Structure 1
Amino acid sequence: MSANMLPSSPSSSSLDSLPVDTGTNPAKLEAANRYVRWNLLFLLVIFIFVLFPIWMPFIPYVNQATNFVIILIIGLFQLIWLIATICAIRRTLAINSRNKLKTTKVQDVESANATNTHSTIRHIVAMTLYKEPMSVLQTTLDSLVQQKDASSRLSVIIGMESRTPDKESKRKEIITKYENKFLRLTVTFHPSNIPGEIPGKCSNMNYACRQGLQILRKDIDYHYSKHEHIFTNCDCDAVFDPEYMSELEAEYSKLPEADRHSSIWQSIIIYKRDSMPFFVDITGVLRTFFFMGVLIPWNINPMSHYSLSVKLLEEGAFTHPAYQMEDIIALIRYTILTRREIRIRPLNLISINGPTSGADYLDEIREWALQVRRWTIGAGEVFHYFIVKTYRMPSLYLSLTWASRFFVYYGLVLCASAIFSVVSPVVVQLVNISLAPVHERLLVSDSLFSTVCFVFLGTQYAFLLVVTVLVRWCLPVPGENRNRGMRGVLRGLWHWVLMLPTILAYSFVELYSFFELAFRGKDVCKHNAASKNNLVLTKGL
């Protein structure tokens, strides 16, 4: 049956009439403690790290080891950067290797055979929309239209908030332009003020997925039970590689049944738009690096857009409507609810997401800081969720190892390491010279301490240079012009120089956000989405 012969999407009135269980228990959520939360432990450990150089020089006997301890801690941070850099280099090589192979006839034949063999698999992509411009959403939908067999095997669910401005006109515009380009196209309206929920992508996505799957199951012509479904969760500013679904399906089909439903697939995401201030550009470069070097190989969490089987999505109770970061919480939530280890598996291709955007330079700074704050508060909330639910983890070993990796990344690498590595050598030297009692130095004299700290500063910039080269010039991003030519090289090198100041600013915003979460509790856990009003995506793919 052709796409044009398929029944049209249900009207908004019929959608609203469908009863949907949102999966919340309002009374239980309301009873949860709003202030004494486990993110306080997160902040306490970070604060102890940051204050090492201030209190250690004043404690007798302990102060003898101040220089040695500071160097040891900075050295551990450098080791983490080394491990992340090695992982990122390996992922970059794998992406480039696939990019070369896909142009050969043999690879084309193998991909075609894989697709034909597993023709019973269908894809569902869900995204949410609130106040984002329609042009941003259309760029995402256009990239999905380019997927192979989109009109016969790909269904799209778009979740709008009931408070979305001009929601009915937007829905009509979407249906008119894209209804015949996908197997099914559904637009849902998430009701506001549902008890136990917080406004934002989590609650909207939770509602859209539950309602969208309910509609597909009730669609007689869709024959839901005859197909295996892969689900992709994405933002409305995502630009997919034209081969995303084919590559995802091929990787999915390689796995045995059990592993298919214990896996989350993550592509490598590049953040770009037509023009960006240096701090937005640098943050995007670092996030891409951490995709390759930390989040995927350390199995911490997916980010932005990712894919999994619908079976795992349902076993994991979709997304938690009382939390704000559905991607950060995804892996640990599904691990806890299914009581089996969930693995993040890489897709060796590039996708594009839009970074924050502002009307002017000051607005760019404000939007950037709001986004950092949202990520940080979301991470703190996920840590609290994990501790509360940790008794349901499959094993104590898995619980301890995931918590350690999560804390090292969100607590130390993103928040404490830059502040500690840059500020502590200066503070220790000033305190030793002017305020602290004279004492013997254990193993490391003051002069050696200064030398080693300068060496570490040099190695840190060496790591950042590798980051710059990998993300700006080694990843095969089609249509990438910003970093090409002499102007692109000079711009990239200038942003490399500004990387450490940007990381410091990022870390201070994170530290402030952890304090805000500690003092304001659950009241601060709201989804203040970054603005996309001025976003002009560079399509690139």
Structure 2
Amino acid sequence: MPSSLSSSSSSVESLHVQIDSGVNAAKLEAANRYVRWNLLFLSIIFTFLLFPIWMPLVPYVNQVTNLVIVIIIALFQLIWLIATVCAIRRTLAINTAHKLRTSKAQDVEASDTTPSPTRHIVAMTLYKEPMTVLSTTLDSLAAQRDAPSRISVIIGMESRTPDKEAKRAEVYAKYDAKFLRVIVTFHPAGIAGEIPGKCSNMNYACREGLRILRSDPKYSYDKHEHIFTNCDCDAVFDPHYTTELESAYSQLSPADRHASIWQSTIIYQRDSMPFFVDITGVLRTFFFMGVLIPWNINPMSHYSLSVTLLEEGAFTHPAYQMEDIIALIRYTIMTRREVRIRPLNIVSINGPTSGSYWADEIREWALQVRRWTIGAGEVFHYFVVKTYRMPSVGLSVSWTVRFFIYYGLVLCASAIFSVFSPVVVQLVNMVAVEHERLFVSDSLFSAVCLVFLGTQYAVLLGVTVLVRWCLPVPGGESGGDGYNKGLRGVTRGLMHWVLMLPTILAYSFVELYSFFELAFRGKEVCKHNAANKSNLVLSS
């Protein structure tokens, strides 16, 4: 990193440590403990979902009920269509880049002998996850180009992590020689204003890890440019991840480098998955390519940025639970400049939820959906409280609309509304006063809604094909371990396609319940209960 950037790091650190740690963080947590802005989020969603019930009962308004319902469902389908077009473009870009890397691999290895001045710092947290899961992640990092000379790994454990000393010793024994530096930190418990979870653990690990690297005279921190990658302990990186990241990083001006977050497309795999876990993973991958990246909403799971932006953005907020959902808007607010999510044309793997038996799988899946939803509600509250620090009013309004469309409408309301509103309207009409229909008669309404159901399944088939059979998965050509390959893989994929809409409905109802839980229980539910990874075996 250039010396001018390094010289400002201490002042940045001293400024933000006052904001996000200890007693001051406790003050932030206590503020608006019960009257929180996620109530507005829920109110809009709930009012919206009640349209089919109250509209047929209101004189004059009831004349346009069918028309309004049709228009709203059509708008939802338009959003899915736009997301599909974005996902197709990203899939083509990923495949083109993959073919280029494959065809020129030998030429690159033969010609690229100059050591890169860029160094990488990769941080992850560990609590109760088994060491086999962490080892898979570290092995994929060790396979990166020049890992022993350019990659430093920070592993943040909680002070309450079971067998933490033995795990630290195992990490050093296996991986100390495979990376430039390996640092293991223990996050103290009971710090005022912090909630247990990845955010507070990562916040501590990053601050402590950078302090150690800067104080190491042999490391020569100030002589190098540094890129930081935040990841989960169940990530599997493509062998070309750091190479692709450096290429994208070097193509930008210094100002743009420090206002960017790089996001790879992530797929979710393990050796065996129940249909609802598999389908949720497929949909999340689709939304990476179709919504989160192109709409510039938030990064997810693992992502990269300059250490300069990491420090100016005050690392991660220890009083919030979802550091990835909050990352983009937090860094935008803290730096007062627009931060962009930029795609990496590469695919990585993350582990989905896992359970010991069927009921446990359902429980873990629902808990994960609940975590994401409550985290989104908390981020919305954080944004509204801090919105006066956004670079512009236009950016504030734009991000609010994009965030609400995705988390409020697409993930929560759209499936419930699209499936149930036609049925509810017809049931309510049985007890409502007779009225004329404008433009859309009852028979036409029923026919149009059936057409919409068909077009929705057509879009979901496109989602299935894109994610399952068109992405070059690490570990093999377009399929990794063959989970989606062969007659069995194709049959499973098509069966799961049929079950997609019921799964989306279940997901939406869990989201709606979680928004209500957050509304009634407030900050009490904003805790990051770690997902169960004890039965996770990654496909790589």
TM-score grouping bracket, smaller chain normalisation: over 0.9
CA distance in 2, matches of 1:291, 1:316: 23
* 1:111–1:372 distance in 2 versus 1, CA, 3 Å: farther
Deviation at 1:487, TM superposition (A): 1.1
Distance in 1 between residues matched to 2:238 and 2:150, nearest whole Å: 17
Residue-by-residue CA offset, 1:499-519 (whole Å, 9 max, x unaligned): 000000000000000000000
TM-score normalised by L of structure 2: 0.94
For residues 76-123 of structure 1, give each alpha carbon's deviation from its aligned partner in whole angstroms, at most 9, with x where no partner exists: 000000000000000000011111111223x65468767837x21100
| 1:501-512 correspondence runs (5 A) | 501-512=502-513
Partner residue in 1 for 2:151: 154
Match of residue 100 from structure 2 = 101
Cα distance, 1:442 vs. partner? 1.0
Q: Which residue of 1 is the match for residue 167 of structure 2? A: 170
Pairing 1:352–2:369 present: no
Is contact 2:214-2:220 (8 Å) kept? Answer: yes
Aligned to 2:135: 138
Secondary structure of residue in 1 paired with 2:50: helix
1:320 partnered with 2:317: yes
Q: Deviations over 1:291-337 (max 9, x none)?
A: 00000000000000000000000000000000000000000000000
| Bigger mean CA offset, 331-340 vs 479-488 | 479-488
Contact 1:378/1:525 (8 A) holds in 2: yes
Which residue of structure 1 aligns with residue 124 of structure 2? Answer: 127
Q: Which amino acid aligns with 2:134?
A: L
One-letter identity of the residue aligned with 1:100: K
Name the CA distance, whole Å, in 2 between partners of 1:115 and 1:134.
35
Distance 2:449 2:75 in 1: 13
Distance 1:454 1:447 in 2: 11
Which amino acid in structure 2 is aligned with residue 475 of structure 1?
Answer: L
Partner of 1:465: 461
Alpha-carbon contact 1:120-1:227 (below 8 Å) kept: yes
Structure 1 residues 262, 108: CA separation in 2 closer, same or farther (over 3 Å shift)? farther
**Match for residue 513 of structure 1?**
514
Q: Is residue 451 of structure 1 aligned with residue 447 of structure 2?
A: yes
Which consecutive residues of structure 1, in runs of 5 or more, have no partner in the other structure? 1-19
Distance in 1, matches of 2:101 and 2:179, equals 25
Residue 56 (structure 1) aligns with:
55
Q: After TM superposition, give the deviation of residue 21 of structure 1 in Å.
A: 7.4
1:111 and 1:340, CA in 2 relative to 1: closer, same or farther beyond 3 A?
A: farther
> What is the aligned counterpart of 1:116 among 91, 105, 114?
114
Contact 2:270 2:536 in 1 (8 A): yes
Tell me the equivalent position of 1:394: 391
1:232 corresponds to 2:229: yes
Give the match's secondary structure for 2:177. Answer: helix
In the alignment, the residues of structure 2 paired with residue 110 and residue 93 of structure 1 have an alpha-carbon distance, to the nearest angstrom, of 22
In structure 2, the residue matched to 1:491 is 492
**Aligned counterpart, 1:207:** 204
The 5 A counterparts of 1:270-285 are 270-285=267-282
Letter in 1 for 2:187: H
Contact 2:26 2:194 in 1 (8 A): no
The equivalent residue for 2:32 is 33
Alignment partner of 1:270: what SS? Answer: strand
Contact 2:19–2:25 (8 Å) recurs in 1: no
Describe the shift of the 1:26–1:476 C-alpha distance in structure 2 as closer, same or farther (beyond 3 A).
closer
CA deviations over 1:3-40 (Å, ceiling 9, x no partner): xxxxxxxxxxxxxxxxx878321352244011110000
CA offsets per residue over residues 446-497 of structure 1, 9 Å max, x none?
Answer: 0000010001000000000000000001111122301111111111000000
Amino acid of the structure 2 residue aligned with 1:480: D
CA distance in structure 2 between the aligned counterparts of 1:450 and 1:287, rounded to whole angstroms = 31
Q: Could you report, residue by residue, the CA deviation over 1:262-306 in whole angstroms, capped at 9, with x for unpaired residues?
A: 000000001000000000000000000000000000000000000
Displacement of 1:343 in angstroms is: 0.4
One-letter identity of the residue aligned with 1:324: Q
Q: Is the 2:187–2:201 Cα contact (8 Å) retained in structure 1?
A: yes
Q: 1:341 aligns with which of 338, 343, 347?
A: 338
- Assess if the C-alpha contact under 8 Å between 2:134 and 2:234 holds in 1: yes
Q: With the length of structure 1 as denominator, give the TM-score of the two structures.
A: 0.94
Instruction: Give the distance between the partners of 2:343 and 2:106, measured in 1 at CA.
Output: 20
Partner Cα separation in structure 1 for residue 110 and residue 269 of structure 2 = 31
Closer/same/farther in 2, CA of residues 311 and 113 from structure 1, 3 Å limit: farther
* 3-state secondary structure, aligned to 2:20: coil
* Structure 2 Cα separation of the partners of residues 115 and 450 of structure 1: 66
Q: Letter of the 2:530 partner, please give it.
A: A
Amino acid in structure 2 at the alignment position of 1:79: L
What amino acid maps onto 1:223 in structure 2? S
Letter in 1 for 2:456: Q
- 1:192 maps to 2:173: no
Question: Percent identity at matched positions?
Answer: 79
Task: Check if 1:42 corresponds to 2:38.
Answer: no
d(CA) in 2 for partners of 1:56 and 1:390?
34
Does structure 2 conserve the Cα–Cα contact (< 8 Å) formed by 1:358 and 1:364?
A: yes
SS at match of 1:397: helix
Paired residue type of 2:451: V
Please give the alpha-carbon distance, in whole angstroms, between the structure 2 residues aligned to 1:115 and 1:444: 68
Distance in 2 (CA, whole Å) between partners of 1:531 and 1:115 is: 43
Counterpart code for 1:32: A
Q: Residue type of the partner of 1:521? A: G
CA deviations 1:352-379 (Å, max 9, x no partner) are 0000000100000000000000000000
CA distance, structure 1, for counterparts of residue 74 and residue 490 of structure 2: 30
- Asked if residue 474 in structure 1 is aligned to residue 470 in structure 2, the reply is yes
The answer on whether the counterparts of 2:266 and 2:349 sit within 8 Å (CA) in structure 1 is: yes
Structure 2 distance, partners of 1:156, 1:305, is: 14
Partner residue, 1:9: none
Q: What is the distance in 1 between the residues matched to 2:248 and 2:206?
A: 23
